[in-house]
Amino acid sequence: MADQPQRRLRRFSHVLFDLDQTLATYALTTSDVVSVVWNRLAISVADLGFPGDAAIRYDALWIALERSARSADELRRTVWKSVLSERGHASSALAERIAAEYGVVRRSTGARLFDGVADFLSSLRCAGYGLGLLTNGLSDVQWEKIRSLQLESLVDAVAVTGDTGIYKPDPQAFRPLIGVLGAAAHRCLFVGDSYESDVIGAVGCGMAAAWVRPAGTCAPGPATPEFVVERATELRSVLL
């Protein structure tokens, strides 16, 4: 019972997390997956360029078109048709073969939690914090990752913006999760790697933000994160 006064004085009652590059990452980068696909389909650099270059364009188009897509498979086909077209290849059949193989490789290699994340979440829960997860992205992609990582057992509530079509940083993307958790926004800390989506969104919703800052970046806007860390697990010293 000796720690009860400390718990009553805590600033935060709930900690909410982003998923990608905050708690977890894909086992293979986009460039790695494209390299595997190129090898499996015997695609030459002379035909479609270096895998790394194609991967950069793939990621850019994915982000640009994601919110209008209904599924990951549909979006992969659309993106690869555009990538090939830009490289002078109008073959829809080849684009569909690449998209299908890309999906096979991505699903088979999957995602992984960063070191120490599972123990960190468990420690927060044991310390009495309510925990939530809010991730941008297509429903099928994000729920597949969430379930494969068993994150539903590590947090109290999960929200995927693709389910509603309202994406971070829109404050309306955050509020339903706060409501499900029964939390007050000013007593929530949101932890994420994207300044635009996570920091701006959380501050705009009345929460404090912890920025898992990508190496070599600086804040590009006026929203101020409460904490800046290299890894989410560094917040252990602040919260526990």
Confidence of residue 9 (pLDDT cuts 50, 70, 90): low
The Cα–Cα gap between 124 and 14 comes to 9
* Cβ neighbourhood burial of 158 (10 Å; 0-12, 13-18, 19+): buried
Confidence of residue 6 (pLDDT cuts 50, 70, 90): very low
**pLDDT, mean of residues 153-182:** 97
CATH T-level assignment (fold) for domain 30-109: DNA polymerase; domain 1 (1.10.150)
Whole-number average pLDDT of the chain: 94
What is the per-residue pLDDT for 90?
80
CATH T-level assignment (fold) for domain 4-26+112-239: Rossmann fold (3.40.50)
The Cα–Cα gap between 83 and 190 comes to 35
Residues 6+ apart with CB under 8 A from 227: 189, 209, 210, 211, 235, 238
**pLDDT, mean of residues 26-36:** 97
Amino acid at 200: I
Domain 4-26+112-239 and domain 30-109 have a common topology: no
Q: What is the pLDDT of residues 181-230, one digit of tens each?
A: 999 999 999 999 999 999 999 999 999 999 999 888 887 878 889 999 99
* Res. 2: pLDDT tops 70: no
**pLDDT, mean of residues 59-70:** 95
Domain ranges for the chain, please list them: 4-26+112-239, 30-109
The Cα–Cα gap between 188 and 210 comes to 11
Strand order in the sheet with 157-160: 157-160, 130-135, 14-17, 188-192, 208-212, 227-229
**pLDDT, mean of residues 140-147:** 97
